[in-house]
Amino acid sequence: MKIGILALQGAFIEHARVLDRLGIESEQVRKPAELEGLDGLIIPGGESTTMLNLANNYDLIEPLRRLGFDGFPMMGTCAGMILLAKTVTNSNVETLGLMDIKVRRNAFGRQPDSFETDLDIKALGDKPFHSVFIRAPLIEEAEENVEILAKLENGTIVTVRQGNMLGMSFHPELTDDSRMHEYFSKIVSGKSLTC
Ligand code: GLN
């Protein structure tokens, strides 16, 4: 199994380290040709507007859309989830539009309002998942075909799955807990089917 990591900007190195830890081969993706031979793709956190501009400059938007609509597994973390979302309610950026969710950018405030919390994510087992939120987006609305995997205590949706796609508001690559990447690798290998 080989998982690509979109490496235009943001926290791509950290994702590569987690995959390394799990013994999964990874490859940094900057050009359309580098998408060939991959089994899945991680879109990291960073700055969604910058990442989209760069993806445009590198002619990656259409190839990524095509792959996504064909069911290619993708995991978007933080800004990466913004790229996957169909709608961004407080910004008019044009995203990949692959997940039927509405997200709100910088929904928890500015940099000093970043926070960490333990999330109950049943798909990852009983142990809470320690999650780091950095100028994070939240999921305002998820259509019926989207499975909600985690919410904050106040009910805010922060992790979703739609078929082979995962989206989350936080940065699972910034802790020692590799379970989110492991879960994604099961989606990639076809061992975790959506309910
Ligand atoms: N605030 C960033 C954005 O809107 C996302 C932050 C992150 O990925 N940590 O693009």
Instruction: Locate the domains of the chain by residue range.
Output: 2-189
Tell me which residue of 67, 70, 175, 69 sits closest to 124, measured CA to CA: 175
Q: Give the CATH number of domain 2-189.
A: 3.40.50.880
> What is the spatial distance between Cα 76 and Cα 168, in angstroms, rounded to a whole number?
6
Centre of ligand 1 from the C-alpha of residue 28, in Å: 20
Say how far apart CA 141 and CA 3 lie, in whole Å: 28
Question: What is the per-residue pLDDT across 6-38, written as a single tens digit (0 to 9) for each?
Answer: 999 999 999 999 999 999 999 999 999 999 999
Q: Whose CA is nearest to atom 2 of ligand 1?
A: 47
Q: So which residues are the catalytic ones?
A: 78, 171, 173
What predicted TM-score, i.e. pTM, was given to this entire model?
Answer: 0.97
Tell me what the pLDDT averaged over the chain comes to: 96
- From 8, 9, 47, 94, the mutation candidate for ligand 1 (largest count of ligand atoms within 8 A of CB) is 47
At 46-100, the pLDDT tens digits run 999 999 999 999 999 999 999 999 999 999 999 999 999 999 999 999 999 999 9
C-alpha of residue 170 to centroid of ligand 1, in Å? 9
